[in-house]
Amino acid sequence: MTSLDDLPIRDDLRGQMPYGAPQKVVPVALNVNENTHPIPEAVAHDIVSRVASAILGLNRYPDREFTELRAAFARYLGHGLAPEQVWAANGSNEVLQHVLQAFGGPGRSALGFAPTYSMYSLLSAGTGTAWIDAPRDADFELTPETAVAAIRKHDPDIVLLCAPNNPTGTPASLATVEAVVDAARGIVVVDEAYFEFADPGTPSALSLLPGRPRLLVSRTMSKAFAFAGARVGYLAGDPAAIDALRLVRLPYHLSALTQAAALGALAHADQMLAMVDEIRGQRERIVVELGALGFRPYRSGANFVLFGGVDDPRAVFEGLLARGILIREIGIDGCLRVTAGTEAETTAFLEAIALFAPNRMTA
């Protein structure tokens, strides 16, 4: 049988592994930061109606510039944004791929602050962009000074700043974002995939867009909107930067069905986001109860919690899985990550993890 090594793939892709998280059918799946709350039924019916209408026109190509959807995203984001400042694609991963295709490539580099979202390095590899891991401060925090020092040392063409950071949940202050934009000579992408879960009153990097044409702010509908299966991501930036992304996208890249579904969800944004407060509450419950069990939960502004103090992450992962609970090993020593789900899912996780608690083990 032919293997991958037998094929004439690019040399820089040899030895690479595709992105992958465990996909298992379990009663409690809390491993990929999905919004585990279902879409409200009335909203679902409206989305289905919109998609059904779009099906009647599938003999025609969709609106290549997804004009109505861009306007809807601009209204949702606020900050005085106009439709020509908005981009969208099939998930925020494709949005970021467009950025790397337009501004990265052979002879150019992208920098992130490790540990961070694993797709950044994979997208960089796929576009022939050199990837640079820069360090964070203690407890996975990132100060302006640390971020600026890395940019000055490596002089990257693109900076990818995940805020809040995945997989650690660590928020990034607006001061850090501003310092990064001021220090970088190239494009800065602030990935706000989890922004809706941040503490109320947390400022968005969107507020920094005026006068900063090299700043791009990425979002997704996968998390807060419970729309992971629809694959819709979007980005805001200067119109000239948006034009650069139009150079590399595939024609008609957003299907008519995707556009219709996204417009339906945005039309009910208040209802779709009503579950965010509950998820935030479950996140804080996880933080408090894991701490009481003797684990080390880290600060999180996302819909998940990274926690340390795990002597054998693989054994705990397998032990939870045997009890029907799937969380995530993310390759950080002594740590695991869990998504904040519904109250019932959180209860199931906390009852199960208590069996592996440091306090229990040392009692």
Task: Give residue-wise pLDDT tens across range 285-302.
Answer: 999 999 999 999 999 999
Domain boundaries, the chain: 21-37+275-362, 41-269
Between the CA of residue 261 and those of 36, 157, 255, 276, what are the distances in Å?
19, 35, 10, 20
- Topology adopted by domain 21-37+275-362: Aspartate Aminotransferase, domain 1 (3.90.1150)
In this prediction, residue 363 carries a pLDDT of 45
Specify the CATH number for 41-269; select among 3.40.640.10, 3.90.1520.10, 3.40.50.2000, 3.30.360.10.
3.40.640.10
Asked whether the bond before 164 is cis by omega within 30 degrees of 0, the reply is yes
Distance between start and end Cα atoms, the chain? 54
Within 10 angstroms of residue 29's Cβ, the number of other Cβ atoms is 19
Cα Rg of the chain (Å, integer): 21
In this predicted model, what pLDDT tens digit does every residue of 165-220 receive, in sequence order?
A: 999 999 999 999 999 999 999 999 999 999 999 999 999 999 999 999 999 999 99
Residue pair 139/297 in contact (Cβ under 8 Å)? The answer is no
In this prediction, residue 3 carries a pLDDT of 82
Mark residue 175 as left, alpha or beta (left: phi above 0; alpha: psi -120 to 50; beta: remaining): alpha
**For residue 299, what are the contacts with CB-CB under 8 A and spacing of at least 6?**
139, 141, 169, 170, 171
What are the mean pLDDT values of the chain's consecutive 10-residue runs (363 residues total)? 84 78 81 92 95 97 97 98 98 98 98 97 96 98 98 98 97 97 98 96 97 98 95 98 97 97 96 93 98 97 97 96 96 97 97 91 50
CA angle 46, 49, 54 (to 5 degrees): 130
Per the listing, tokens 């556009």 go with 259
In this prediction, residue 237 carries a pLDDT of 98
Per the listing, tokens 């996140």 go with 283
Per the listing, tokens 């540990």 go with 115
What amino acid occupies position 347? Answer: T
